[in-house]
Amino acid sequence: MHLSPSSPIGIFDSGVGGLTVARAVMERLPRENIVYFGDTARVPYGVKSRETVARFAEQIARFLLAKQVKMLIIACNTMAAVAYDTVRALSPVPVLEVIDAGARTAVARTRNRRIGIIGTPSTIGSGAYVTAIQRYDQSGMFLATEACPLFVPLVEEGWLDHPVTRLTAFEYLTPLLAQNIDTLVLGCTHYPLLKPMLGSVMGQGVRLVDSAEAVSERAEDLLREMKLENPGQGEPEHVFHVTDVPQRFREVGERFLGRSLGTVRVESLC
């Protein structure tokens, strides 16, 4: 397989959430071509069995590899927790994922060695962030986790700084505030949209670690090491593949991406 600097980066998620990762990559690496895949027909993955999630991840990875990507980014916490080994085993190109990147950044940033982690019930229940943080820190940091099931629907409703969302955040985050953490990992690709509100609820003493930004930093480092940065002068190509076009897809997607969605193609995987 010949990798060229002009090859695209492949980014995939179970739905629209991974568009926050695509956005972070576009902002950090504005010359890179990107192919995004969102499995909108089969979202959400969090309630599916490990075997099913791994099978879906394999299908998507093969689809993107056929597009000659030079790197794969798993922009979905559920797939990162369950299917990283599967994807890495079949991929001839490097595979990055949001959990490892977020964990690494959190360990580097904390000063008092007390980290909080928030995510969907499925991500928190998997223990994947705790395991990943322990991989980068053997000395035993204090870790507190909290599942926040309503944040995803609140973001999809667009209530990013609504009184309802703020009240929900106080309800979920009060236990973490009581633990004197100095770092909070946003362990879900929907949460970057809540960053201003979460920052004001947590206060200035707590740094927020955004896994989307963290994985885009890792992608930048890796492309530099591999000498695969795209030097292209023209406009980069960004193509979005989805398996279904749900109601309000463009509206919600553009809120996540922070810009207009260009070409959207509907694909069938099964």
Q: Are 45 and 81 in contact (CB under 8 A)?
A: no
Catalytic choice (24, 29, 82, 188): 188
Residue type, 202: M
The piece of 21-29, 54-62, 119-127, 255-263 that touches a copy of itself (CB under 8 A) is: 119-127
Return the DSSP state at 155. H
Edge-to-edge strands, sheet with 9-13: 95-97, 71-74, 9-13, 34-38, 238-242, 263-266
Site for a copy of itself in 29-48 (CB under 8 A): 40-41, 43, 47-48
Question: Residues 159-198: x/- map of binding to a copy of itself (CB under 8 A)?
Answer: x--xxx--xx--x---------------------------
Among 233, 247, 260, 263, binds a copy of itself (CB under 8 A): 247
Q: Are 64 and 12 in contact (CB under 8 A)?
A: yes
34 φ, ψ (degrees, to nearest 5): -135, 135
Residue 217 lies near a copy of itself (rule: CB under 8 A): no
The piece of 29-37, 60-68, 129-137, 144-152 that touches a copy of itself (CB under 8 A) is: 144-152
209 φ, ψ (degrees, to nearest 5): -105, 120
Encoded tokens for 202: 């947590």
In whole angstroms, the minimum distance from the beta carbon of 247 to a copy of itself comes to 6
Catalytic (active site) residue 76: yes
Which parts of 120-201 are beta strand (E)? 142-147, 183-186
In our burial notation (b when 16+ CB lie closer than 10 A, e otherwise), range 134-158 reads beebeeebebbbbbbeebbebbbee
Among 11, 35, 79, 154, binds a copy of itself (CB under 8 A): 154
Q: State the number of binding residues for a copy of itself (CB under 8 A).
A: 28
The piece of 30-38, 93-101, 108-116, 244-252 that touches a copy of itself (CB under 8 A) is: 244-252
Among 149, 199, 236, 258, binds a copy of itself (CB under 8 A): 149
Q: Are 190 and 155 in contact (CB under 8 A)?
A: yes
Catalytic (active site) residue 188: yes
Residue 122 lies near a copy of itself (rule: CB under 8 A): yes
Q: 3-class SS at 46?
A: coil
Place of tokens 């999809």: 156
Q: Which is nearer to a copy of itself, 40 or 183 (CB)?
A: 40
Residue 156 lies near a copy of itself (rule: CB under 8 A): yes
Handedness of CA 186, 188, 191, 193 (dihedral sign): positive
Active site members: 76, 188
Residues within the interface to a copy of itself (CB under 8 A): 40-41, 43, 47-49, 52, 121-122, 125, 149-150, 152-154, 156-157, 159, 162-164, 167-168, 171, 244, 246-248
